[in-house]
Structure 1
Amino acid sequence: MEQEHPPVWQRLDRYLSQRPVIDPSAYVAPGATLIGAVTLGARSSVWYQAVVRADINRIDIGTETNLQDGCVLHVADDYALRIGNGVNCGHRAILHACTVEDHVLVGMGACVMDGAVIGTECIIGACALVLKGTQIAPRSLVLGSPARVIRELTEREVAGIYSLAQKYVGVARRYREGGVGSKPS
């Protein structure tokens, strides 16, 4: 049975009246859009043409996470969106009302649907489709449409996730210092 919700206009009023809370050390590129009840953690970055729309529920983004060009993040009536620390969301990835734990790589063009939970230290391959409610165990390599676990990640692959997140922290810092987008703190 579906959960009862206030009318959509009441939810819109509630969430759209909130301003995004952006850590001073985070970077938001020109043309990126953050709307409503969004929190963006320390040293995280949101790149060109990314859309983070928390209009009917919350979006919480951890530290040192990067949302690359063209990412789309949205919520649902029954599900907020939570992204952990050190997450890499590749170009044009879609995260809809799901949970992505710490140190995950979501590949370019991948889509993670409502209620899905991606465990710590996973790689979701490019163009993968993670269906509604799917639970992915930690350290999994996930490929395909619909997505399925292929195997456990190697130590080298896990290290690559951490390395990529740190690379984006450094790139965002250089953009900030160069005066492109968010002002340096």
Structure 2
Amino acid sequence: MRKKTYLHDNYDVNFILKGFTSILVGIYMIVGVYLMQSILSGFLIENNPLGMLSAEIIELLFVGILFFVVMGASLALIFGGRRDAKKFQYKLWNRKTKKIAFQYLLLVAMVFFTLIILMNVGQIDALTPTFLLLYALFLFRLKNKNRAQLLLLSGLALLLAICCFFIPSYWASTLYVLGIGHIAYGVIIR
């Protein structure tokens, strides 16, 4: 069997959001939203131990949960790329993959800083729509001509951002739907 040597320099094959990687990203997103929603509801219930915490500690817990969700998703992408690299017997880290990894880190940092600035300004209702909008742009930026199906997730995130902008109390529901969308995308697109 002939090796697929054209895959060696193709970062789109190394770091792609399909199959099990997309399922893991969806699971991490759902678990993160569940934890944030549980913490927030525990904070609002009167006799719950979380109700004794200050709002600043709750914000730090949310930032920590987001950090671990992003780390889990990033590690899923890296290990998925590593698995594909081993399967096709080519190097994972080359010039193009280092470039896309740098762009990925830059985009993730931009999303984090934007959300932290919105949180510090007091625009709490704008956090989820802004995240979903930036995530849609993020997915659109990472798509290529071979992965046009990624536009489905990008469009879903954009529609959920519009929904969450008009109805801010649906923040958890929209993030659950995005997580389920990732799982469905991973099951369908292999």
Tell me which interval the TM-score lies in, with the shorter structure as reference length. Answer: under 0.3
In terms of fraction of residues, the more helix-rich structure is 2
TM-score by length of 1: 0.25
TM-score by length of 2: 0.24
Larger relative contact order, structure 1 or 2 (CA cutoff 8 Å, min sep 6): 2
